[in-house]
Amino acid sequence: MSAAFDPRTHLAAAAELAGRVIAITGASDGIGRAVALACARHQASVILIGRNVRKLEAVHAEIATSRAPEASIAVLDLERALAADYDRVADAVLERYGRLDGLLHNAALLGTLSPIEHYDVPTWCRVLHVNVTAAFALTQVLLPALKKSADASVVFTASAVGRHGRAYWGAYAVSKFAVEGLSQVLSAELEGISHVRVNALNPGRARTAMRRQAYPAEDIETLPLPEALTGPYIALLGPASRGVSGRSFDAQPSPVAG
C-alpha cells in the first residue's frame, strides 16, 4: 500500500465490508452511531458497544430495519467496568463470531477545559481512564479475536489537540497524545507477526454533544453532521487500508480540535 494512501479519497463499494465483524465503542450516539450505521450499510456485522442500553437498542433497531446483517449489543461502561466485564465481551465475540475484523475506539470523555494548575484530579483520572486505559484493556482482551481474522483493523480516535498541545485542554489533550502513542506501539508490536493493522483517525469538527460541550457558543449549523464523516472510517476499517499501519489520519482537510 502506498504511503500516499488517504482514507478521505476512498469511494466505498456498496458491499465494502461484507463478511466483516466490526466492534465500535461509543456506538449509541454521535460519530460512533453514524459509523456503526455506515458499517452496517456496507454489509458489516456490527457489535455496538456502550453503556446506554436504550440508545444502543435504538441503533440496533435501525440496523434491523435495513438489509444489513444482524447487529449485536455489548453493554460495557468503560468508566466502571472490571476485568470480568471485559472478558465477558471478548468471550461473547469469539463465541458468536469466532473472530473480529475491526475495532473502532470512539468512546471518550472531554472532562473540563481548565488550566493544569487548577485541574480537578478525580476528573483527570476519569478522563485518562476512559480515553486511554479502557481502550488499552479492551484492545488487549480482543486481540485474540482480532488475530483470528485474515485482515483486521484497529482504529483509535485521535484529536488535533493530541498532536499539538493547546492550553486548557488538560486531560483530554493528554489522553489523545497517549492514544497516538498506544496506536503506534501496538502497530509496531503486531507488524510482521499478525494480520492486524493499527491506525489513528482525527474526525475533526462535527455536530456532536462533545463538541457542544467544548464550544457552547459555536454555531452548530456550521459543523458537519457525523454522517458526513464516515467515509474515512469505512476506508480504515475495510480492505482499502490493507497494509497501512502505524499512521495517523484526518477525516477532514483542515483538522480542528474535536
Residues recognised as catalytic = 172
| Cβ pair 69, 41 in contact under 8 A | no
> What is the per-residue DSSP string for the chain?
--TT--GGG----TTTTTT-EEEEETTTSHHHHHHHHHHHHTT-EEEEEES-HHHHHHHHHHHHTTTSPPPEEEE--TTT--HHHHHHHHHHHHHHHSS--EEEE----------GGG--HHHHHHHHIIIIIHHHHHHHHHHHHHHTSSSEEEEEE--GGGTS--TT-HHHHHHHHHHHHHHHHHHHHHTTT-SEEEEEEE--S-SSHHHHHH-TTS-GGGSPPGGGG-HHHHHHHSGGGTT--SEEEESSSS----
Grid cell digits, residue 204? 475533526
CA of residue 93 relative to chain centroid, distance: 17
Cα(102)–Cα(152) distance, rounded to whole angstroms? 5
| Cβ pair 237, 155 in contact under 8 A | yes
| Count of other CB atoms within 10 angstroms of residue 51 | 17
